[in-house]
Amino acid sequence: MSKQDGSSRQVTTGPVDDSATPILHVDMDAFFVSVELLTRPELRGKPVLVGGTAGRGVVAAASYEARRFGVNSAMPMSIALQRCPNAIVLRGDYASYAKYSKQVMAIFEQLTPLVEPLSIDEAFLDVSGARRLHGSPAEIAWTIRERVRAETGLTCSVGVAATKYVAKVASSRAKPDGMLVVPAADTVAFLHPLPVSALWGVGRVTEESLLRLGLRTVGDVATMPHDALVRAVGPALASRLERLANGIDPRDVHTTRVEKSIGHENTFGYDLTDPVDIRRELLRLADNVGVRLRKAGLVGRTVVLKLRYGDFRTVTRSRTLAEPTDVARRIYDEASEALTELIGDGQRIRLIGVRAEHLQVSGSGAMLWDPDEEWRDAERTIDEVTAKFGKGSVRPATLVRRRGERGERGEARGEQSRAGGDDDAATAAAGWGW
């Protein structure tokens, strides 16, 4: 039995058939803000934001009181404060968030070994084998919520369903501090009334395309002729949306996560227009990506450049390599060629990002040739020197600033990086999201 209140919140309030719903999605409620309120209880019930305030800082997390004003994570702080002038802004303490995340994940692992963290504040659980010890999926979800509250003082929302996708949708519907069980037999009935934005892979642009076709709900997508949907969004996305719209998601919960990408990006305190400054920043980012790849023992086959112009337009370009690499110079060369196609004289650049995708373990495949052997040896030597004498002891000459030039921290809001992954914490944590 479930009920829906005046908002879109929907929670389970009584007995329900959870016999075929072994997948849980647990999502902490406004995690960064909630951790801050543990030591600032006087701020409870007030609009609170966590994020950067200097220059072009962004909102990493917003309390539910702030969200009522239309504030959300990843929003520029300047816009958030226009919408909610009385918001209280906190800089945030990542070390504290990591500590509480570790406590929460430990609770999950005490109830089932099948835990797949998605980010610092959410995870999928498969409780198929935990019934004998801990009860039914709904009982385990209830136990998780009670233990998280008792042991950390925080709250979480839990979705219980037959698949990962439906469990994640259910947890979002149950927020804040709720639990929603979607019986397997009710999956389609639960999904079809939801807006098309509830489908994974439907961002703003795709949503607009679907709305132009008159597709406003998940059910509309499910009943749309396949050929028409292909014409609107392409064959790959059309097939995926059709499956999700009918509750089909065969993915299992994986306890080990392979990084999908390694990247770094910078949003600048002022728009860059000088091509020398732009390419110097590109080299710095590529160097950081190369260092992380080598440290992780990975190589990437695809290099992706991300640019945001002064008018907020954002574009990406990807280049696939003949051989995967962990060499910063190769990453820079590929990103630089892509950059040449995207900027012209006087072009104002607000953000630059570089990432490596399609990762694999270094040495896992026989290379036909190594076009970067000399650069690879040089960069590994630099890695050894850095390990001994510290970061910055050796660096490309292009990155050594002349006297009188602005320092890196003076010109940028702060570098952001992420290796793979997906909401509040995963996308916008002042320096922690791609």
Beta bridge partners of 215: none
Place of tokens 């292909």: 230
R_g of the chain computed on alpha carbons: 23
Task: Tell me the torsion sign for CA atoms 158, 161, 164, 170.
Answer: negative
8 Å CB contact between 261 and 353:
no
Contact, 357 vs 260, CB < 8 A? Answer: yes
Helix, strand or coil, per DSSP, at residue 22 = coil
Q: Which of 36, 116, 122, 265 is the catalytic position?
A: 122
Beta-carbon-side half-sphere exposure of residue 94 (alpha carbons within 13 Å)? 12
Structure tokens at 68: 């009522």
CA distance 335 to 332: 5
Is 121 within any annotated ligand binding site? yes
Which neighbouring-strand residues pair with 51? 59
Nearest to 112 by CA among 256, 255, 249, 252: 255
Closest CA to 359 of 276, 225, 263, 237: 263
Q: Which residues, in sequence order, are CB contacts of 391 under 8 Å at separation 6+?
A: none
Question: What amino acid occupies position 311?
Answer: D
Do 112 and 127 touch, CB atoms closer than 8 A?
A: yes
Q: Specify whether the CB–CB gap between 301 and 357 falls below 8 A.
A: yes
Let me know if 36 is a catalytic residue.
Answer: no
- Burial (CB count within 10 angstroms: exposed 0-12, middle 13-18, buried 19+), residue 275: middle
Q: Is 227 annotated as a binding residue?
A: no
CA distance 377 to 374: 5
* Preceding amide of 15 cis, omega within 30: no
DSSP 19: T
One-letter amino acid for residue 215 of the chain: L
Angle between helices 275-296 and 373-389 in degrees, nearest 10: 80
Mapped onto helix, strand or coil, the DSSP state of residue 207 is: helix
Annotated binding site for Mg(2+): 27, 121
Annotated binding site: 27, 121
Which residues are identified as catalytic?
122
